[in-house]
Structure 1
């Protein structure tokens, strides 16, 4: 992302933002509410308007590429807000994550592979998604985003609203995915938790990058701690 100015319609949220994430890294974006973190993610994925600057993936300009194209090209996005279909079963929700395959059999095979990875979801595959707990719902959203076996995964507030035991589970999954080679960009309200697993960290405030460094550097930076980590 180079010199990106982005927002929605006539509203500009991001101002000349530059971030770079290497292949295979976990990068964490932190900052106060309203700083533009979700807009940054959405400008990468095609949900926000990029007014200036470029978004590149492995040297390819993907500025303005649609969410459908991004999904079909190995990039998935787990939104902050609940995105399961409550009237559908867990399994039907999973299949929705593979709709770009245009091959029901392939989608079913991939879902079965993921039930091996997420046994709790396999056990409740016939249950309506609207009856799930917050932790189960978040795991379903995470697993569904894996249907396309993404090379790049974006997670907006993966721990929001979860009990501590589910937060640990979700972050353990994030580390496992990264160990398998998935590049991950996450926005995290629990800044210490997010930075503790991150190779790179970025602090966004008022639509601008204020600090950047390794996750450890930002955790140990007195000014970052005072302003953004409650230290």
Structure 2
């Protein structure tokens, strides 16, 4: 059994005086793809934001490789092995693809390192290399999501958080994005994703969690949750 890389223990979190998560416990092993599913408003995005430092953690602990990171700022997380692709469009539309890529390396101390890393990623994402001078605001939905994924890899993260990677995409692009997610995982990146398309998310996941009303209701392998009749009836439309 692999060592856990990311853990949440008895986490209570939300925003200001509003509590969204109640006593959440999850554990993700090094090298896994983990998928978080649940109805709208269940707290999935808040769970991601509590890990990354965008939400308030009122109680409990969050650890990365046994080091407590509870309340650590997004800037600190980015500089220390964790990246986050938001659900909402996060490219800078007035900048070129290349300029957007370099923004992903803003925590680096020198420009040369960012430039070198961008070139490495253009080898991994040839389509982005081909359109590096194009304004990001002119990209298709699939190209934009690919740019967001590549930009998040600028810091070569150990853990990547992906919030609704398939949202708003045509079916063809959804398949492309999930194929890329699996490739990134094969290269060693541990991934926690939130996915409204529960069937698709669980189909690529080593580990799955069902969140409802701010609480973890079910956990198991992706395959176990896909085949669980109760989970299927309540959350998969089965």
Q: Provide TM-score, normalisation by structure 2.
A: 0.96
* Structure 1 counterpart of 2:233: 226
Distance 1:22 1:209 in 2: 17
Aligned residue among 20, 26, 29 for 1:13? 20
Structure-2 residue corresponding to 1:142? 149
Equivalence for 1:87: 94
Which blocks of at least 5 consecutive residues in structure 2 are unaligned? 1-7
Aligned length: 231
Question: Which residue does the alignment assign to 1:189?
Answer: 196
Q: CA deviation at 1:102?
A: 2.1
Residue in structure 2 matching 1:33, options 40, 61, 67: 40
Q: Offset of 1:69 from its aligned partner?
A: 0.4
Shift of 1:165: 1.0
1:50 aligns with 2:64: no
Structure 1 residue matching 2:28: 3-state secondary structure: coil
Counterpart residue number, 2:68:
61
Distance in 1 between residues matched to 2:117 and 2:180, nearest whole Å? 17
Partner of 1:129: 136
Normalised by the length of structure 1, the TM-score is 0.99
CA distance in 2, matches of 1:112, 1:159: 26
In structure 2, distance between residues paired with 1:108 and 1:58: 29
Pick from 68, 80, 84: which aligns with 1:73? 80
1:118 to 2:141 alignment: no
Displacement of 1:184:
0.4
What are the Cα deviations for residues 109-136 of structure 1, in whole angstroms up to 9, with x where unaligned? 1111111111111111111101111100
Q: 2:167 matched to which residue of 1?
A: 160
Which whole-Å CA distance do the structure 1 matches of 2:112 and 2:237 have between them? 49
CA distance in 2, matches of 1:128, 1:92: 9
CA distance in 2, matches of 1:39, 1:222: 27
The CA RMSD measured in Å over matched residues stands at 0.5
CA separation in 1, counterparts of 2:53 and 2:182? 26
Query: 1:180 offset after TM fit, Å?
Result: 1.0
String of CA shifts for 1:90-148, please: whole Å, max 9, x gaps.
00000000000121111011111111111111111111101111100000000000000
Residues 1:24 and 2:31 aligned together: yes
Aligned to 1:214: 221
Other-structure match for 1:199: 206
Write the distance in 1 (CA, Å) between the matches of 2:81 and 2:151: 13
